[in-house]
Amino acid sequence: MRTVIHFLMILAGCTAITLPAWAQESRTAPSIILNPINITATRSERSPEQIPNSVTQISRTPQHNYQPGATLDEFARGTPGVFFQNQFNFTQDLRIAIRGFGARSPFGVRGIQMHVDGIPATLPDGQTQLDSIDPSLIERMDILRGPSASLYGNASGGMIDITTREAPPEKFVIMPRQVFGQYGYLKSELFMGGRQGNFGYSLYGSHLQQDGWRDHSAMQNTFSQAKLNFQTSADSDLMLVFREFYSPLSKDPGALTRAEVQADPRQASVRNVQYNAGEEIRQEEMGIRFRQRPSAGKEFSMTGHWLQRDFQSRQQFFDGGQVQFDRQVGGLMMQFVNDHILFNRPNRFLIGVDYGIQNDDRQRFNNNFGARGALNLSQTERVQSTGPFFRNEWRVADKLDVVFGGRWDWLRYEVKDQFKSDGNQSGARTVSQASGTAGLVYHVTSQQQIYAHTASVFEAPTTTELINNPAGKGGFNPNLNAQTSLSNELGFRGNTAGFQYDTAVFFIRTWNEITPFELASSPGRAFFRNAGQSRRIGVETRLATPEWKGLRGEVSYTFSDFEFEKYVVNDVNLKGNIFPGIPRHRWEGLLRYAHPLGFFGQLHVHRVGEFFVNDTNSATNPAYTLGQLLAGWELRRNNLESSIFFGINNLFDAQYNANTRINAALGRYYEPGPPLNVFGGVRVRIVVF
């Protein structure tokens, strides 16, 4: 696959030898009026006004072009109900929590489904790695805040649907971008694309590296994507996507105790340095989607995808502290949408099935202070998932929409032990679960809606969670079960005189909540257990102003009252304790300005309230306020656009923790974030022809 991607990028690069031709043209780009973009996270295009869910849609703005381009939270700032952590430890990956789903994750994303260009980024077992999603390539992001298991099955406490940048309307456009920053931050990007008749293409490559503010936190990676679109006929189209991600270096500085943070927040954990904690990754993936519209109101689509991931890591302990696996993932999704009339009213019926298979060939070795030691685990893990689903959306009255749907999921986990000196730990587990949803949308006016939604969702343990057995053996942890939740929400949204507003309240009850913990003998290695029962009450609200003389603002607030209702650990009753990892209060504000002469600016402020970092509520993460100031100048001349930009992160120079490790051993909960730091860059867009 690397050969395919490199060939496509070289082909487009060779075309760029005609670059001087652009200067001979003197064509002014016409003004473009954008039509409203529909939500695709509900598996068929719908306007936000027709969806009985809390949904946030974020489209690319010029300000997105002037971010550092490191993690995808840069694109989704200001979204209520969505909490990001860990933007600076690339070994552990960005952490995302939506209404508490995903907060337990020690690395990567759990409990949330993610699709990129209609292709699942979430594996059949429910885990998602974000390292192969470049934020600079995102064109649009739809976020469903709340359970969507009736559409996506396992681990659907929320849904993030990403569309990467499409082919530009011109025949050939080239867009390089270069970003510099403190602590050795350097990102180089190149985007090329265009359209010719029924064919469109976009090619992208980037290289990111940094030394890091903390000791032992250097990293570098390279990413490339080729996206090809074919209009195969008047009523059908085909999309091909190829991606490659390679990270030869990613060091893990680890978490610190509160005393260590106060003494020197830049230091790395002593054990992480001793054991050279870090990882190396190579991942390749491809996807193909075919859509056919056989007649008016009907659409059939089929999507196939494949992924290979080679992974090696060194963790901060001896026994099994080096992990290596070769992962193969494949899947097929088929669905049919039928728009028709039911009892003289518009009705949409959607039916489909998803199939996925995941195969991990995993080994663990002892970690002799960074050197590979003896093998102590070797096993093959396989997960298969099958999920048929349906959804019906009916306009039962002039102002009332009714939506209901369901899905049945079957997951089969198998492990074949190939290291039998400690006994044969081979085994299998099956999880099957039905999920349902029902919702109403009442259109108060054409611009205002009240909606209500109830849904069930289940979350099966991932293979990584199952094989991290506290008993110290291979195979699966027999005491870890799937968690289930029932969610209810009520919301009001609208658009009045250009002011966009949205408020939602929700109540979620969860049984067998999966929570992480660590053992003192293996600090830094996460194990998992079930809590008996929990409940979540929350409020999410957002207000965005219309643009006035180039000025626009947004403000959002999230209130989270999450607590355990039944939970006993080591004979200690934790009933009434607050969820760790989720702040009770969180505010965000965003102010943008663009001058007709090309000057622009943006101010983003984020206030995070205090929150607990363990189930016993004996340790907290202090509240903090972050800010980012962005400024620059953009020049447009005929077929050339160029800009320079400058930014300040952590504008108020706050001392804060960018990540917390829930229920960590030995009090090592905190990963400090960098102080005030600056970045800047240049961006060019050239229409070659």
Query: Any idea what the CATH number is for the domain that residue 293 is in?
Result: 2.40.170.20
Whether residue 6 is contained in a domain is answered as no
Mean pLDDT of residues grouped by 10 in the chain (689 residues)?
43 36 34 53 89 93 92 92 94 92 83 94 92 92 93 93 95 97 98 96 97 97 97 96 97 97 97 96 97 95 97 92 96 97 96 97 95 94 96 96 97 91 84 95 96 95 80 74 94 96 97 83 77 94 95 97 92 93 97 94 97 96 98 92 97 97 92 98 95
Alpha-carbon distance 220 to 90, whole Å? Answer: 9
Write down the pLDDT at residue 580.
94
Give the pairing of strands 219-233 and 236-250. antiparallel
Write down the pLDDT at residue 35.
44
Write down the pLDDT at residue 414.
93
Tokens linked to 547:
């643009």
Could you give the maximum distance between any two Cα atoms of the chain, in Å? 79
Domain assignment of residue 126, given as a range: 48-688
| Residue 647: partners with Cβ closer than 8 Å, 6 or more residues away | 66, 67, 68, 628, 629, 630, 631, 678, 679, 680
Whether residue 18 is contained in a domain is answered as no
* HSE toward the beta carbon, residue 685, CA cutoff 13 A: 15
Tokens linked to 613:
């970092």
Write down the pLDDT at residue 473.
64
Closest of 687, 662, 667 to residue 168, by C-alpha: 687
Whether residue 43 is contained in a domain is answered as no
H helix intervals, 264-389: 270-274
Tell me the whole-structure pTM to 2 decimals: 0.91
Question: Hey, which bits of 16-156 come out as E strands?
Answer: 55-59, 82-85, 95-98, 109-110, 113-116, 119-120, 127-128, 138-144
Write down the pLDDT at residue 28.
33
- For the chain, the domain total comes to 1
Cα-Cα-Cα-Cα torsion 257, 260, 261, 267, nearest 10 degrees, comes to -110
Whether residue 409 is contained in a domain is answered as yes
Q: What is the CA radius of gyration of the chain?
A: 25
Write down the pLDDT at residue 31.
31
Whether residue 25 is contained in a domain is answered as no
Whether residue 137 is contained in a domain is answered as yes
Whether residue 225 is contained in a domain is answered as yes
Whether residue 432 is contained in a domain is answered as yes
Amino acid at 576: G
